Amino acid sequence: MLMNKLYAENVRMIKEAILKSQYCAASIVNREQLSLYYGIGKYVSENSRNGYWGKNAIETISQQLQKELPGLRGFSAANIKFMRQFYETWCDDLKTLTVENKVEEDESLTVVSEIDTRQLMSLMNPNKDDFNIVSFLGLGFTHHMIIVRKTNSLAERLFYINQSVMNKWTKEMLTIRIENDLFNHQGEITNNFIRKIPDARQSLKAIEMFKDEYLLDFINVEELCERDKEDIDERVIEREIIHNIKKFILTFGRDFAFVGNQYKLEMHGVEHFPDLIFFNRELNALVIIELKKGAFKSLYLGQLCTYLRLVDDKIRKPHENPSIGIVLCKTADKKYVEYVIQDYDKPLGVATYKTSGEMPEKLKQALPDIEELKKLL
């Protein structure tokens, strides 16, 4: 038995070494391939755009390559044209995203000054936090093709490159993310939905469903303070929401149905009471909302994960999607939330709220009375 455990550990160590070596080898091959394609794109661009080549030159070159290198893949006329597009899309941006390159120009295609992988790793511009050269060089050319073809700005390209590498997206998943415009939805709520909701369309629905901040204008802080001399706690806010549940649902979004508040969940003799539970028809999922009166704390996520586990085990129906948890707190440092939320294995989001007593007087005066708004509707 002891020898079997020893052998198992030895196998594990050797397997990890093999996989690591394979990954490193694949990364090197990918970087060299990307550099090659960029260099060919540069060469083709400089010759075809300036009229040095005839109209069908790229097609002729592609056919000749196939004859001289039988079995060569990836060098169709369409792919060569895309190598040119890849170079033309990135050539100026790479110069601004990296510090000045001192590599001398070389007419051969084996040295490409702007994307020389032997030099570029040390040429990162420290002022460009959103440019991750490891992600850029680690992403496959097919993914780069999709991103260049379907995006319109440098910011979008960098966003999808980093997300593709971080989340190990297939080209199909990447295409769906771009088509659903994930880039322009990223600011709606701090979340880990992309990683923790496997279905691409479902995760994007969840991102679109929830906002970064909610205006709970039916909660009047000044009135509450008159009734409660102590600090307002979560239960007071919860009572106000329950009294105005229709307004809260309208504030929170479409297709929400109220399930209950302080819903009792028991496991092994331990009782738990999630603040608010809703069901969303669009997501086909239960949504747990935990209310917090102050600033966000990471322990709130752990508490919410426990509730989600219990809700999925005890309440969720077989045909429903996994439940989603939202922490609704007074303030939150978005960068900090983004940092800590990724380690949790349940779909979580963190949003903030404002109440009417905290709104600037001019804004409060500009908002219509709720009764007037009902008449207008």
Q: What is the pLDDT of residues 81-117, one digit of tens each?
A: 999 999 999 988 877 765 544 434 444 444 343 444 4
Assign 151 a pLDDT band (cuts: 50, 70, 90): very high
Average pLDDT in the chain: 75
217 pLDDT band, cuts 50/70/90, is low
DSSP-assigned letter for residue 105: P
Confidence of residue 364 (pLDDT cuts 50, 70, 90): very low
Which long-range contacts (C-beta less than 8 Å, at least 24 apart) are formed by 94-97?
96/125, 96/128, 97/124, 97/125, 97/128, 97/131
Query: How far is the CA of 16 from the CAs of 6, 29, 167, 218, in angstroms?
Result: 15, 20, 21, 57
User: What is the DSSP pairing of strand 190-191 with strand 276-280?
Assistant: unpaired
d(CA 350, CA 299): 12
Q: What's the average model confidence in pLDDT over 21-48? A: 78
- For residue 109 the two structure tokens come to 């295609």
Q: Hey, what CATH topology would domain 208-376 get?
A: Trna Endonuclease; Chain: A, domain 1 (3.40.1350)
Q: What is the DSSP string of 306-347?
A: HHHHHHHHHT--TTSPPPEEEEEESB--HHHHHHHHTT-SS-
Boundaries of CATH 3.40.1350.10 in the chain? 208-376
Q: How far is CA 184 from the centre of its chain?
A: 11
- Report how far Cα 64 is from the mean position of its chain's Cα atoms: 43
* Cβ atoms of residues 222 and 364 within 8 Å: no
Q: What is the pLDDT of residue 262?
A: 82
pLDDT at residue 196 tops 80: yes
The pLDDT tens digits of the residues spanning 298-327 come to 999 999 999 999 999 999 999 999 999 999
- Can you give the pLDDT at residue 354? 75
Say how far apart CA 274 and CA 91 lie, in whole Å: 53
Q: How confident is the model at residue 150 (pLDDT cuts 50, 70, 90)?
A: very high
What average pLDDT does this structure show over 322-343?
89
Can you say whether the dihedral through the CA atoms of 100, 103, 105, 108 is positive or negative? negative
Answer whether 208's CB lies under 8 Å from 188's CB.
yes
Q: Report which secondary-structure segment, H or E, holds 96.
A: helix 77-97
Q: What percent of the chain has pLDDT over 90?
A: 18
For 11-80, what is the HEC assignment?
HHHHHHHHHHHHHHHHHHHHHHHHHHHHHHHHHHHHHHCCCCCCCCHHHHHHHHHHHHCCCCCCCCHHHH
Q: Give tens-digit pLDDT for 225-251.
A: 444 444 455 666 667 776 676 667 666
Q: Confidence class of residue 356 from pLDDT cuts 50, 70 and 90?
A: low
- What is the structure's pLDDT at 366? 45
Q: pTM score > 0.75 for this model?
A: no
What pLDDT score was predicted for residue 250?
64
Per-residue confidence band for 118, with pLDDT thresholds at 50, 70 and 90: very low
Picking from 355, 360, 290, 292, the residue whose alpha carbon sits closest to that of residue 323 is: 290
